[in-house]
């Protein structure tokens, strides 16, 4: 069943040391959330980089159930893509 992605409850945070388009992260994760088996009440995505690769993290409230995932990659877009794939897998199980 497809559910609308939460517009006002989906947040994307981009760290100071990451150059990434927030729209890409939002749109990629929103596409996954539309496939969620239950309504998503809240979603927060963070992209951070310290001295190495980019870390993408997501925290969701899936109808009262907490779902978290993270991914690490060399570029922000790659990290978001890996995160989206991991979320898709978690939501399917």
CATH assignment of the domain containing 49: 3.30.160.100
64-69 mean pLDDT? 94
51-69 mean pLDDT? 91
Longest dimension (CA), the chain: 41
pLDDT in tens, 2-55: 455 444 456 666 666 666 677 888 889 889 998 899 988 888 888 888 788 999
pLDDT value of residue 58:
92
The pTM for the full model equals 0.81
pLDDT value of residue 7:
44
CA atoms of 55 and 6, how far apart (whole Å): 23
- Does residue 5 fall inside a structural domain? no
- The DSSP letter of residue 82 is H
Burial class of 89 by CB neighbour count within 10 A (0 to 12, 13 to 18, 19+): exposed
Cβ atoms of residues 41 and 6 within 8 Å: yes
Number of domains, the chain = 1
pLDDT value of residue 92:
87
DSSP string computed for 15-52: -TT----HHHHHHHHHHHHTT-SS-EEEEEEEEEESSS
pLDDT value of residue 90:
92
- Supply the range of the domain harboring residue 40: 10-92
- Taking CA 78 as the corner, what is the angle to CA 68 and CA 25, rounded to the nearest 5 degrees? 60
């Amino acid at each position: 069943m497809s559910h609308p992605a939460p517009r006002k409850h989906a947040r994307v945070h981009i760290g100071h040391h990451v150059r990434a388009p927030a729209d890409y992260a939002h749109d990629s994760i929103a596409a996954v959330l539309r496939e969620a088996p239950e309504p998503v009440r809240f979603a927060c995505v963070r992209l951070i980089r310290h001295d190495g690769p980019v870390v993408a993290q997501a925290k969701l409230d899936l109808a009262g159930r907490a779902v978290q995932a993270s991914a690490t990659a060399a570029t922000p877009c790659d990290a978001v893509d890996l995160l989206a794939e991991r979320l898709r897998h978690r939501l399917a199980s």
